[in-house]
Amino acid sequence: MSLRRTGPSVWLLPLLALWPTAAWAIPQDWKLGFQPAASPVMERIEEFHNLLLYIIVAISLFVLVLLLWVMVRYNKRANPTPSEVHHNTVLEVVWTVVPVVILVLIAIPSFRLLYYEADIPPADVFVRAIGHQWYWSYEFPKDGNFQFTSNGLSKPGDNSAADAAHEPRLLGVDNPIEVPVNKVVELEVTGADVIHSWALPQMGVKMDAIPGRLNHTWFKATQTGTFYGECSELCGVNHAFMPIEVKVVSAADYQTWLGAMKKKYAALGDTGDTRLAAK
């Protein structure tokens, strides 16, 4: 294809691929930006990120222009006899007050976002995620009262199981969890051995799983589909093989999944201990 026929838009494609606001469903080579937001929490995180991006770009451009102006206006050639001014009260007040104002403007939406994330609404679904070396187990003590393990399909040097299941490398699992769309999911996270971290980027969730501690967070999926995450705390040699897979389905499909899981896995005891899996 000749250069004339490609047109100018073709040459813009590499730049568009690197544009920070581009969003992709799973990690891709040479891409930047967040994955598409699929929950109100992630939407607000992205809005706050964009606000910070505008502020940072404005500050960087201002500093760049200021540096260039000083280099041109006050170099030895343009200003052979420099002044001996040591203090400028107005300038010193400005460069102290302006950063404080900027930080306050950043703090207000930041605190509002933190409160929104920490204030868990009344939950429709309760899920307990437990981190192990190196897999996750999930408990549904209220919906179905069962527990199961979720292991990554990819193994060190072996991706055959993921390929056979048509799952992405390092992200697919043998037992994904399912949650209903447009319902509040409360997530209780803890660790069984070392510190892990349950992270699901498109839902705006990243919560540490600490042994002996129960951490709570929430998300509300606004669209159906399959969403992937990973343990984001360095937890040992197989840290890279500890993925998370969440399927968001309709309310009817969720009830069907619950019924199948109750038959497949044994119920939890009153103390929270797991009984042997049903045969």
At 186, is the secondary structure helix, strand, or coil?
strand
User: Which comes out higher in pLDDT, residue 156 or 26?
Assistant: 156
One-letter amino acid of 221 = A
Q: Which of 269, 258, 260, 264 is nearest to 279 (CA)?
A: 264
List, in sequence order, every residue forming a beta bridge with 186; answer none if it has no partner: 126, 218
List, in sequence order, every residue forming a beta bridge with 218; answer none if it has no partner: 186
Confidence check: pLDDT of 1 > 90: no
Q: Which two tokens stand for residue 121?
A: 């609404």
Q: Which of 200, 212, 189, 279 is nearest to 244 (CA)?
A: 200
Question: Which run of H or of E encompasses 259?
Answer: helix 251-264
Q: Which two tokens stand for residue 54?
A: 């505008």
Domain boundaries, the chain: 40-118, 125-264
Out of 23-27, 156-160, 246-250, give the one with best mean pLDDT. Answer: 246-250
d(CA 143, CA 257): 11
Q: 275 near 147, Cβ under 8 Å?
A: no
d(CA 79, CA 35): 51
Confidence check: pLDDT of 119 > 80: yes
Section 216-239 average pLDDT:
94
Q: How many CB atoms lie within 10 A of CB 168?
A: 19
d(CA 221, CA 87): 56
Section 72-92 average pLDDT:
83
Specify the pLDDT at position 271.
Answer: 43
pTM > 0.85: yes or no: no
Specify the pLDDT at position 253.
Answer: 95
> So what's the architecture of 125-264 in CATH?
Sandwich (2.60)
Strand order of the β-sheet with 125-132 is 146-150, 135-140, 125-132, 184-191, 215-220
| Residue-wise pLDDT tens digits, 11-62 | 443 444 444 444 456 777 787 788 889 999 999 999 999 999 999 999 999 9
Q: DSSP for 228-257, please give it.
A: EEEE-S--STTGGG-EEEEEEE-HHHHHHH
| Residue-wise pLDDT tens digits, 176-194 | 999 999 999 999 999 999 9
Out of 21-25, 109-113, 145-149, give the one with best mean pLDDT. Answer: 109-113
Domain 40-118 matching CATH 1.10.10.10: the answer reads: no
In the predicted model, what is the mean pLDDT of the chain? 85
For residue 205, with 0-12 CB atoms within 10 Å meaning exposed, 13-18 middle and 19 or more buried, which class applies? buried
Q: Strand ranges (DSSP E) for 23-155?
A: 125-132, 135-140, 146-150
